[in-house]
Amino acid sequence: MSEDGSSRRTFLKGAATGGVGVTLAGGAYTQRARLFGGGDGTNSLSGPDHITRLVPDGQVTDRATGGVWADSGSWRDAVPGDGAHVLIPEGRAVTLASELDATYRTVRVDGRLRVDPTAASRLLVDTLVVAGTGTLELGTPDEPVQRGAGAVVEFTDDGAIDEDWDPERVSRGLLALPGSTVHVAGSERTSWARTGTAPRAGDRSLSLAEAPTAWAEGDRLVVAGLDPDENQDEAVTVAGVSGSTVELDRSLSHDHVPPREDFDAYVAAMDRTVTLRSESAATKRRGHVMFMTTDVRVQHAAFDSLGRTDKSRPVTNPDNGTPPDPDTPNPKARYACHFHRTGIDATEDPRVVEGCVVDGSPGWGYVNHHSNVAFRDNVSYDVFGAGFVAEIGNEIGAFEGNFALRSSGTGGGPDRRQFKTDREGAIDDFGHGGYGFWLQSPGVAVDDNVAAGHRHHGFVWWTRPKPDREMDPEKFEGITIDFANFPVENVTGQDRLLASDAVTDGKVPSTQVRFRSFAGNTVFASGGGADISRHRFGDAHDEVESYSVVDEFTAFNLGAHYSQWDSRRVPNEGGAQGGQNGISIRYSANVVVRNPTLVDGVGGYRGVGINRNHAPQNLRVENPDIEGWFTGIRAPPRGESPITGGRLDNDIDVHVIGGGTSNRWSSPHEVAIENVDFGDGGRASVFMGADLQDDLYSMLSPNDSVTLEGTPLYFDSQRPDVVPFPTEADLGDVGGDELGDLSEADPAEFVGKSNRELMNAYGLAVEGEPLPDDAGARSDVLGGFAAGSNGSRDAPAPLDAVASTVGSAHEFGTLAQGERLYVYDDAEFLTVPGKYAGLSYIRPEKEDQDIERPSGYRLDLAEPADVFVAYDAESTPEWLTGWTDTGDSIGTDDGTRRVFKKSVGAGTTWLGGCPDTYKMYSVFVR
């Protein structure tokens, strides 16, 4: 023990309890971890043990005896100077009451370091370590740092981080070790506010819904932009405040007017009286904040230009997988405000971060990793990757009343970088796409938050466990993994799960845990609303009371999502990973979407209110308010998926695709639409399409049903005269047991037979039965028929009907320059020869390019006609052999198209797929 009472034992006190250790297996991996900071537990090289080695007793140059920092009598020798390694020993307290000019290499707090809340103070330091016995007080709840005073901790830049001293690159920042106490409290103020009157261009004041607390002249604000495709955030300064009216230093340049009067515009306050900041703007040389202790309360503080993990590229110290660029360190866990393995004991009070702002970060803002943290009323602004994060799947606590404003991202979808064996960069490194909230854990309550200005979704739930230790790749690669990570004591309302064999060593996989809460959240001016994936997939059941609930979710003004190659990703791309989806649900089951309000409030792009990929099961939509989209709801393909009550007013309100996903081992596909108020702004209440290429059993199964107010609906492909398999190649790779218990027939016998013939010979037909005699067309049902109806079809002459064999939607248009090529995409016809102008054409989904069957698009003609196909000029598929190359071309935003022609008689004409191009062709008729 030294003279001042400090010792290594004192320093390590509490560190031994700081998180679960991890064992790193494999020589190559261990070497990589040694170089780049692998692992996250106390036994890893970047955990508390490594941090203690950065500030040993033998390195200390200046020891405090207690008192005011700037007084020489407070130090054993003199006030520390530039480059000092400072120690405040256990039992000693130092008060910072002035703006220091010296820059320190390290400050280690074994005792107590506080600021005078009534004085302006500043500490310039590379690395500030609060040891297990230490206390850091940058204001307290009872004595917050006052306006007019202000406390600043600046993490200095004396050059590149010294990797000889710190090979893990964990230094340069605030590091609070297990057992320590950290209290940070600035003066209370309104963090963000709703406007009472929507601001318009030219306004020089804001009318807020309520009078703000402690806003004053000189404060910096950001008025959130509402345009989803252009950053129209406006940084302004307060010129004065009177009640709920805030005068500004300049006039606004943009309108900030939502599409409905019951929606709000929002304003974020950017100043706090306590600031932790980086001196350097260079990503590799910035500071970061890592809390490893349970005793943390941070209120009304600013985290300015912090964070060093660069989410624009994969981390170089993954727990699994092969990282790219191993010679360029990019260690994880160096974030702006980061709780690192502080424990998930729900009986303890949570750590608290309240009323703060993260302003600028190259990788994430607020991060909960294996911790219990309540983040309330905070702002994140201008971050890369995600503003708020629950990192690995077992986190608890809350994100409540926060405002995530503006994030940039890689352009990759939510699933990008998912672990794949031997694929460089596929390392389970998520949350890089530009999101408001990245939520790996279902155990956090996510309520009353707002997300705006994000490259992609405002909220992403991706609840598959993210192991933070090395795993056997065979157990790891796939949609879900058999990895129990969520303690059973933190699971509520799921008796069925807790009694199942999913329980292992007192834990269950987080992917099977229902949302603790997801209510009252809002997204706008982003590339998507909410994405839910890897959630309860494979555990579908009918115990609705234990389903996850998405309650009172609002999204408006959602725009395009652009990939890393700057190409626009339409809503259904990548299995509903594209842009302009209000809610997308993928690889999930047992979800109730209750009282959603989804409004596509801007022109130009047309998206989907509630979208899905091929896999969701048991999705219930209750009392929706969905308007302005091309498609309101794309109904899930499996299980019970009722749509009940509410209002739908879209071009297509509900799009139902039948037969597309195997239901041999899942519950039947049942879509019951009841008590819905359909608006008059679109074409159809229901669009019906059958998928004839994905799964033979599901296509022919009799168990599915679609009803509209109790009336059975049927697909066009169920017509008795439709031939589901015109050629043998249309059967694809059908295995011997493809029909299961439906029939012992050889599927090869189905070729060329109509539904009527299949029913007579085998008792089989598309969707289990041919269209009944009493069913007919109905004006609000497209692509199908309704029982007891006898209306007319909607196709323009000479067409009678059109159907894609993947069940996709389509429109009819008049061929002309400026018309759209596709349903969802913004590509247009640029040049149209006069001989074709004015002809009726079919506008398909761009994703129809993925049709694999040789017979992929069906045209039913009421009379003989000339059919034209404008196909990618760079290729010609085999199915166009026998068609006439007219020598004409049509210019489009999606490439030049050569025009082929074929004269056909009345009846059915089949068109093929796009085996050699990513560009769906255009069809027009005369």
In this predicted model, what pLDDT tens digit does every residue of 611-647 receive, in sequence order? 999 999 999 999 999 999 999 999 998 899 999 999 9
Residue ranges, the chain, pLDDT below 70: 1-46, 326, 602-605, 660-665, 735-736
Strands 486-487 and 507-508: antiparallel
Compute the distance between CA of residue 123 and CA of residue 572 in angstroms, rounded to an integer: 52
Compute the distance between CA of residue 354 and CA of residue 301 in angstroms, rounded to an integer: 8
Those residues with Cβ within 8 angstroms of residue 556's Cβ, 6 or more apart along the chain or in another chain: 258, 259, 260, 263, 523, 524, 597, 598, 599, 600, 601
Query: Is the Cβ–Cβ distance between 132 and 181 less than 8 Å?
Result: no
Strands 181-185 and 295-299: parallel
Residue 605: predicted pLDDT: 57
pLDDT tens per residue across span 194-210: 999 999 999 999 999 99
Phi, psi dihedral angles at 699 (to 5 degrees): -60, -35
Those residues with Cβ within 8 angstroms of residue 315's Cβ, 6 or more apart along the chain or in another chain: 309, 323, 330, 331, 332, 427, 429
Compute the distance between CA of residue 857 and CA of residue 122 in angstroms, rounded to an integer: 70
Neighbours of 300 (CB within 10 A): 26
Residue 393: predicted pLDDT: 96
Residue 196: predicted pLDDT: 97
Of 482, 303, 327, 505, the closest CA to residue 387 belongs to 303
Neighbours of 874 (CB within 10 A): 12
What DSSP line would sit under 721-746, residue for residue?
T--S-SSGGGG-S--TTTTTTS----
Query: Is the Cβ–Cβ distance between 679 and 714 less than 8 Å?
Result: no
Compute the distance between CA of residue 110 and CA of residue 90 in angstroms, rounded to an integer: 5
Compute the distance between CA of residue 85 and CA of residue 63 in angstroms, rounded to an integer: 9
Query: Is the Cβ–Cβ distance between 128 and 105 less than 8 Å?
Result: no
Provide the token pair at 713.
């609906």
Compute the distance between CA of residue 564 and CA of residue 690 in angstroms, rounded to an integer: 33
End-to-end CA distance of the chain: give it in Å, rounded.
96
Those residues with Cβ within 8 angstroms of residue 654's Cβ, 6 or more apart along the chain or in another chain: 631, 632, 633, 635, 643, 648, 671, 673, 685, 686, 687
Phi, psi dihedral angles at 846 (to 5 degrees): -60, -30
Residue identified by tokens 């912090």 is 306
156-184 b/e with 16+ CB inside 10 Å = b?
bbeeebeeeebbbbbbbbbbbbbbbbbbb
Query: Is the Cβ–Cβ distance between 712 and 705 less than 8 Å?
Result: yes
Provide the token pair at 202.
């030219």
Those residues with Cβ within 8 angstroms of residue 451's Cβ, 6 or more apart along the chain or in another chain: 387, 403, 404, 405, 435, 436, 437, 458, 459, 521, 522, 523, 526
788-803 b/e with 16+ CB inside 10 Å = b?
ebeeebbbeebbebbb
Compute the distance between CA of residue 289 and CA of residue 366 in angstroms, rounded to an integer: 10
243 CB burial (10 A radius; 0-12, 13-18, 19+): exposed
472 CB burial (10 A radius; 0-12, 13-18, 19+): exposed
Compute the distance between CA of residue 589 and CA of residue 598 in angstroms, rounded to an integer: 21
Of 821, 836, 840, 853, the closest CA to residue 921 belongs to 821
Neighbours of 748 (CB within 10 A): 10
Neighbours of 556 (CB within 10 A): 24
Of 194, 248, 559, the closest CA to residue 403 belongs to 194
- pTM summary value: 0.94
Strand-pair partners of 590:
none
Residue identified by tokens 């009345």 is 906
Classify residue 417 by its DSSP letter.
T
Classify residue 791 by its DSSP letter.
B
Cα–Cα separations (whole angstroms), residue 127 to 54, 131, 602: 9, 12, 48
Residue 3: strand, helix, or coil: coil
Strand-pair partners of 283:
none
Query: Is the Cβ–Cβ distance between 116 and 140 less than 8 Å?
Result: no
Single-letter amino acid, residue 634: R
Compute the distance between CA of residue 838 and CA of residue 840 in angstroms, rounded to an integer: 7
Phi, psi dihedral angles at 389 (to 5 degrees): -140, 130
Strands 121-130 and 173-176: parallel
Q: Can you say whether the dihedral through the CA atoms of 102, 107, 110, 114 is positive or negative?
A: positive
Residue 738: predicted pLDDT: 82
Classify residue 144 by its DSSP letter.
P
Q: Which helix (H) or strand (E) holds 786?
A: strand 781-787
Compute the distance between CA of residue 926 and CA of residue 377 in angstroms, rounded to an integer: 61
Provide the token pair at 349.
């009070």
Question: What's the half-sphere exposure (Cβ side, CA atoms, 13 Å) at 715?
Answer: 34
Residue identified by tokens 């390195």 is 59
Provide the token pair at 182.
């950290």
Compute the distance between CA of residue 848 and CA of residue 857 in angstroms, rounded to an integer: 9
Residue 33: strand, helix, or coil: helix
Compute the distance between CA of residue 679 and CA of residue 227 in angstroms, rounded to an integer: 26
Provide the token pair at 45.
């090289």
